[in-house]
Amino acid sequence: MMKADLADARWTLDAVPYESINVAQARTSDDVFYLVAAASFIETAADLYTDNLIGYFSGEPEVAAWLDGHWKPEELRHGRVLRGYVEHVWPEFDWALAYRGFFEEYSRACTVDEFEPTHSLEMVARCVVETGTATFYQALGELACEPVLRAMAARIRADEVGHYKYFYRFFQSCDGGRYPGRIRVLNALRRRMVEARGDDAECALRHVYRVRHGVDDVAARSALSARLTASVKRHYPVGLAARMLLKPLNLPPSVARVLEGPVARATARIML
């Protein structure tokens, strides 16, 4: 379904046809509003940490140039088009105000990225992040009932998969092409997965909720958060997530196949 959406629509993320959105149809899902708004915050805030990462790879000019010239603009474009969608479909929501509140908190607490000790292990961590985003946008595309959003989600997902592929390729060649060892890779995977466990998303959701309702009702917001997790979970591509996460472990295919099921279940528990 995602592929059909992608093929049908001939536009790119540089020219999203907001005017062809059926706004009444798009507004039928409250869950979608919260998911798109929260995602737009996190993508827009990428500006904060991308430069640190680019600095970390300053000794690898080719990677630094790719990060600066492709990855960063693509992440920021994701933020821009998702914001555009929210502002078009829910014009009564003050995106800029909510984002200001989010950014203030996020820049203080949510983003102090600690880098892994080696370039190749940092690439493993980046692969976890891109797995999280690629699979999230796949779920969002399935959840969305409005075609422009479905197509946007498909395109963003394709970008995130592209990021994963680049990071994975570089993982294989950096640090002189030496494999860091399964235990170290596993630890890097685990560290990043635990870190990724939704703190940023909670922070974003809190600020979206506050501006939408004028107050923060913790109980109602927690219920909303649980409902959003459940609806993403229903469409979450656990098998894909497991395959992407297992890849840097370099396991023999037969072992990877056996592990896919248990890893998929663990992934769903940890990532959602």
Return the range that interacts with Fe ion (CB under 5 A); candidates 86-94, 113-121, 127-135, 188-196. Answer: 127-135
**Minimum separation from the CB atom of position 128 to Fe ion (A):** 11
Return the range that interacts with Fe ion (CB under 5 A); candidates 8-16, 22-30, 52-60, 124-132. Answer: 124-132
Under the criterion CB under 5 A, does residue 192 sit at the interface with Fe ion?
A: no
**Minimum separation from the CB atom of position 132 to Fe ion (A):** 9
Contact 20, 55 (CB under 8 A): no
**Minimum separation from the CB atom of position 39 to Fe ion (A):** 8
**Minimum separation from the CB atom of position 75 to Fe ion (A):** 4
Phi, psi of 168 (to 5 degrees): -65, -45
Of 16, 40, 44, 75, the residue at the interface with Fe ion (CB under 5 A) is: 75
Contact 120, 175 (CB under 8 A): yes
Distance of CA 143 to the CA centre of its chain: 16
Of 5, 33, 40, 78, the residue at the interface with Fe ion (CB under 5 A) is: 78
The 30-49 site mask, x for binding Fe ion (CB under 5 A), equals: -------------x------
d(CA 94, CA 248): 42
**Minimum separation from the CB atom of position 13 to Fe ion (A):** 10
Under the criterion CB under 5 A, does residue 160 sit at the interface with Fe ion?
A: yes
75 or 200: CB nearest Fe ion:
75
d(CA 23, CA 75): 25
89 or 140: CB nearest Fe ion:
140
Return the range that interacts with Fe ion (CB under 5 A); candidates 67-75, 168-176, 193-201, 232-240. Answer: 67-75
**Minimum separation from the CB atom of position 163 to Fe ion (A):** 4
21 or 128: CB nearest Fe ion:
128
**Minimum separation from the CB atom of position 78 to Fe ion (A):** 4
**Minimum separation from the CB atom of position 49 to Fe ion (A):** 12
Under the criterion CB under 5 A, does residue 150 sit at the interface with Fe ion?
A: no
3-state secondary structure the chain: CHHHHHHHCCCCCCCCCHHHCCHHHHCCCHHHHHHHHHHHHHHHCHHHHHHHHHHHCCCCHHHHHHHHHHHHHHHHHHHHHHHHHHHHHCCCCCHHHHHHHHHHHHHHHHCCCCCCCCHHHHHHHHHHHHHHHHHHHHHHHHHCCCHHHHHHHHHHHHHHHHHHHHHHHHHHHCHHHCCCCHHHHHHHHHHHHHHCCCHHHHHHHHHHHHHHHCCCCHHHHHHHHHHHHHHHHHHCCHHHHHHHHHHHHCCCHHHHHHHHHHHHHHHHHHHC
Under the criterion CB under 5 A, does residue 116 sit at the interface with Fe ion?
A: no
Size of the site for Fe ion (CB under 5 A): 6
Under the criterion CB under 5 A, does residue 163 sit at the interface with Fe ion?
A: yes
Q: What residues line the site for Fe ion (CB under 5 A)?
A: 43, 75, 78, 130, 160, 163
